Amino acid sequence: MRPVAAAKGWDIPAIGSTADLAAWLNVSTGELRWFADLKGLEYKGVPSPVRNYHYKLLSKQFGQIRLLEAPKPRLKELQRIILREILERVLAHPVAHGFVKDRSIKTFATPHVGQQVVLRMDLQDFFPSFAAARIQAFFRTLGYPELVAALLAGICTKETLIKLSAFHSRSS
């Protein structure tokens, strides 16, 4: 797949295969598959020190519980490489401020100072609302091949990505 027109001008690495992605991240292809966890092994079985995440339950308002899933150091390092070398090089829409480098709540609020009415909203369960397939599709629009996009999305998300047997046979 070719990148969408806007992506052609972005300075992102060309990664054409699983081996290229593993080399770019400086891991073996086996480690790459383990970190991406396309088969959802993180969810299966009992907790183990070889898992890629730490889990913690937090109390929310009104008695609700929030599950905090924090990547362990090596996975977090891979996520930061992807963030720095790919995601931060993708231009955000001019009105986007959340999680955009050099933008903040202050840069968001400044244009609204002095207005009679300012509407504030918070999206409930924002991050879990992004399915891994949507993240994979994003990497595909950048021009990455399907399996490379799936592996990148697997590293960047916690959700099991691939459930189709065709993908299982390719990633085995």
Rounding to the nearest 10 degrees, give the CA dihedral for residues 143, 148, 153, 159.
Answer: 140
Share of the chain above pLDDT 70, in %: 82
* Structure-token pair, residue 6: 């806007």
DSSP letter string, 8-33: GGS------SHHHHHHHHTS-HHHHH
CB-side neighbour CA atoms (13 Å) of 42: 24
pLDDT digits (tens, 9 = 90+) for 38-88: 877 766 655 666 788 888 888 888 888 877 788 899 999 999 999 999 998
| Domain ranges across the chain | 5-43+72-171
Q: What is the average per-residue pLDDT within 114-120? A: 85
Q: What is the average per-residue pLDDT within 145-158? A: 93
Q: pLDDT at position 136, please?
A: 93
pLDDT level of residue 5 (50, 70, 90 thresholds) = confident
Q: pLDDT at position 45, please?
A: 59
pTM of structure: 0.78
**Main-chain phi, psi angles of 130, to 5 degrees:** -95, 105
Share of the chain above pLDDT 90, in %: 36
Q: What separation in angstroms does the CA of 44 have from each of 39, 62, 99, 129?
A: 10, 31, 31, 22
Q: What is the average per-residue pLDDT within 20-32? A: 96
Q: pLDDT at position 48, please?
A: 63
Would you mind telling me the total number of residues written for the chain in this entry? 172
Do the beta carbons of residue 90 and residue 101 sit within 8 Å? no
CA–CA distance, 74 with 28 (Å, rounded to integer): 13
Q: pLDDT at position 52, please?
A: 85
3-state secondary structure of 56: strand
CA–CA distance, 51 with 153 (Å, rounded to integer): 17
What are the beta bridge partners of residue 68?
56
pLDDT over 50 (residue 161) = no
pLDDT level of residue 131 (50, 70, 90 thresholds) = confident
Q: pLDDT at position 170, please?
A: 46
Q: pLDDT at position 49, please?
A: 64
Mean pLDDT taken over the chain: 82
